[in-house]
Chain A
Amino acid sequence: MNNKIKSLLIPLIVLTVFLLSWELASFWGYLKPTRFPAPSKLLMSFLDLTFSGYPADVTIDQHLLKTIERIIIGFLLSVCLGVPLGLLIGGFQALDRLTSTIIAFCRSIATLSLLPLAIVWFGTGEQSKIFLIAYGCFWVMLSNVIEAVKQVDPLMMKAAKTMDTDGIELFLKVVLPSALPRIFSGMRISLGVGFMVIVGAEMIGTVIGLGSLIMEARTFYRTDITMVGMLILGLMGFLMTTGLAWVEKKLMPWQQQVHDRTSP
């Protein structure tokens, strides 16, 4: 057997055995349906969720769209704030020295610990969720942009300067293009962060969104719905990160990607 077939076949067999034994274990009653709903039950619940919706009439596409909408808005906010600010801080050494400790500290603040503040400042509506996502994304975005500007090859700057490139022109023609790949990686990583925060952010005051779906379903002992929601969240995260990594590779093939070590 050659390697390619092996690396396809073995995972397939293992996955099948895993799902089959799970199915049979619940069929024979070894696994409680409220704790480990069987794979077939999950499939049924998924169809249920697609056609009739949970909670009543809120179908899966509505949950999905709402969650994506929140992530995108929060993410875009953080990009709009983080990129210009990061370029500014990265460009001036004094500014970088003044802010580096603050940024390191703000990054280590747990985003979800801001939940009570978000509620007091923005209520329990959309704004508070977007605030939390934007906060989580922002610091990651900012520190990546700063790092990107700082890592621009000084030799290139000097070369450009000998050719009388200065000020804005130097920035637009030399600094920005060479910082771009890292900035893009920063976007990918910070989108991942937003994706982690969303579940916590949706725990408050809403019934639409994947995060609230899984919490709500748990309250009513619909573990099957919770699991379906989790799998969809996982799939969404997977598609988002691999999709962006792919785009990054296509857009900037000359650049080695910065590996995302923070998100699992």
Chain B
Amino acid sequence: MKDFHFQSISKRINLYGLMGILMLLMFWELSARWIWQDIQVLPSPIQCMDMAWQVLTAQELVIHIAASLSRILIGFTFAAVIGVSLGIAVGWYQYLGLAFKPILELLRPIPPLAWIPMAIVWFGLGEPSKWFVIFLGSFFPIFTNAWRGMVGIPPVILRAAQTMDAEGFELLLKVAIPAALPDIATGLRVAFGLAFGILVAAELIASDSGLGYMIMQSRETSRLGVAIFGILLIGFLSMLADDILARLMKKFVSRGRY
């Protein structure tokens, strides 16, 4: 089960997969051209690319992508640092766990997008509100998985280390955290995927750059092709990021444990 989480998507891309995509694209192309025949409702893939090519300059596209990625990275980094350390602390010190639990359990089930209005109230319309929404969206999966990982460490491992005189901080750093690492890694990966999902909503808050903005903007100027291009681009970026993360984890995390 654990290995499933580390499997990267690129492994699933094979000849069959490419054939499937090609068939889908052809189906879309033909149905757009013959059945809908309306570029305002369903542009075909070729029309989408064509429209994106005409409307977007390379520079613009790079700016949008950079703006979106930097938002994700900043929000995610905050979430990773705070979420992992808090999760470890709460999982390790029983009393801290008991103290934090009620407040976190109260906030945890609130959907990340519901924080958008509060983000605006607290941080205004600028960049920090977007970081905050992405932070919150990725914080809870990171935190919960780290916590779960710490609590789920087989007691045998800890006791074995204790018989070898490992104690306190050493026990935590050398035994407990490495044992919880696969769970922590899973949390990070899930959260990174979520961050992409939340990004678009975060960019609905008055922004003038980013892929989410680009998509909304293209609807308003009724260039649906560009919107579709943007949607697919976000999907592609999120898949790529997930793949890179999965590879990194496979390389660094599962080593020594399995």
* A residues whose Cβ falls under 8 Å from a Cβ of B: 6-7, 10-12, 14-15, 18, 34-35, 94, 97-102, 104-106, 108-117, 119-121, 195-196, 198-200, 203, 211, 214-215, 217-218, 223, 226-227, 229-231, 233-235, 237-238, 241, 261-264
- Complex Cα distance, B14 from A72, in Å, reads 36
Interchain CB contact under 8 A, A195 and B114: no
Of the 9-residue stretches B55-63, B100-108, B171-179, which lies at the interface with chain A? Answer: B100-108
Query: Could you say which of A115, A233, A235, A262 has the most chain B C-beta atoms within 10 Å of its C-beta?
Result: A115
B221-252 residues at the A interface, CB under 8 angstroms = 224, 227-228, 230-232, 234-236, 238-239, 242
Q: Is B91 in the interface zone, CB < 8 Å from A?
A: no
- Quick check: B141 and A264 within 8 Å, CB to CB? yes
Consensus secondary structure, chain B interface: helix
Q: Is B117 a contact of A104 with CB atoms below 8 Å? A: no
Set A11, A116, A198, A262: member contacting B218, Cβ < 8 A: A116
B145 within 8 A of A: yes
Chain A nearest CB from B108 CB (Å) reads: 6
The digit string for B131-174, where 1 denotes a CB below 8 A from any CB of A, is 00000000111011100000000000000000000000000000
- CB of B16 closer than 8 Å to a CB of A: yes
Complex interface: chain A residues within 8 A of B211 (CB):
113
Cα–Cα distance between A227 and B118 once the two chains are bound (Å): 8
With A112-B200, A214-B117 known as contacts, the answer to whether A14 contacts B111 (CB < 8 A) is no
Are A101 and B21 neighbours in the complex by a CB distance under 8 Å?
yes
Q: Give min CB distance, A90 to chain B, whole Å.
A: 15
Q: Identify the closest chain B residue to A117 (Cβ).
A: B227
Is B82 interfacial (CB-CB < 8 Å)?
Answer: no
Q: Which residues of A contact B16 (CB under 8 A)?
A: 94, 97-98, 100
In order of increasing CB-CB distance, the 9 nearest A-B pairs are: A264-B140, A101-B17, A116-B219, A218-B117, A109-B235, A97-B16, A98-B20, A234-B110, A237-B109
Contact of B231 among A114, A237, A238, A264 (CB under 8 A): A114
> Can you list 13 contacts pairing A with B, beta carbon distance less than 8 Å?
A11-B99, A14-B98, A100-B16, A102-B24, A104-B12, A105-B235, A110-B198, A110-B238, A196-B113, A215-B116, A234-B109, A238-B109, A262-B193
Question: Are B212's CB and A113's CB within 8 A?
Answer: yes
Nearest neighbor of B202 in chain A, beta-carbon distance: A112
Return the chain A residue nearest B187 by Cβ.
A261
Q: Hey, which chain A residues are within 8 Å of B194, CB to CB? A: 262
Taking CB atoms, residues of chain B closer than 8 Å to A101 are: 12-14, 17-18, 20-21
Judge whether A97 and B111 touch: CB under 8 Å. no
Q: B51 interface residue, CB < 8 Å from A?
A: no
Shortest CB–CB separation between residue A260 and chain B, in angstroms? Answer: 10
How far apart sit A261 and B140, CA to CA, in the bound complex (Å)? 10
Instruction: Supply 19 further A-B pairs (C-beta < 8 A) apart from A34-B121, A199-B116.
Output: A98-B19, A99-B20, A101-B12, A105-B21, A106-B235, A108-B235, A109-B232, A109-B235, A110-B197, A110-B238, A111-B197, A113-B230, A218-B117, A218-B120, A226-B117, A234-B106, A234-B114, A261-B141, A262-B190
Instruction: Give CA–CA (A218, B205) in the complex, Å.
Output: 12
- Complex Cα distance, B106 from A214, in Å, reads 18
For the complex, give the distance between the alpha carbons of A217 and B41 in Å: 33
Asked if residues B117 and A235 are in contact (CB atoms below 8 Å), the reply is no
The reply to whether A117 and B110 contact each other, CB–CB distance below 8 Å, is: no
Tell me, rounded to whole Å, the shortest Cβ–Cβ distance linking B244 to chain A. 13
A99→B112 CA distance, assembly (Å):
30
- Inter-chain contact count A-B, CB under 8 Å? 187
CA distance in complex: A6, B116 (Å): 36
Contacts of B74 in A (CB 8 A): none
- Within the complex, what minimum Cβ distance (angstroms) separates B67 from chain A? 15
Q: Is the CB of B40 within 8 A of A120?
A: yes
> Which residue on A lies nearest to B17, using beta carbons?
A101
Give min CB distance, A59 to chain B, whole Å: 19
B88 to chain A, nearest CB (A): 17
A112-B200, A113-B215, A120-B41 given as contacts; is B113 within 8 A of A223 (CB)? no
Of A11, A100, A114, A237, the residue contacting B111 (CB under 8 A) is A237
Q: Are B95 and A10 in contact (CB under 8 A)?
A: yes
B residues near A263, Cβ cutoff 8 Å: 141
A125 CA to B85 CA in the complex, in Å?
A: 44
Does B73 make an interface contact (CB < 8 A)?
no
Report which residue of B5, B18, B24, B98 has the largest number of chain A beta carbons within 10 angstroms of its beta carbon: B98
B199 CB-CB contact with A under 8 Å: yes
**Interface pair A35/B13, CB less than 8 Å apart:** no
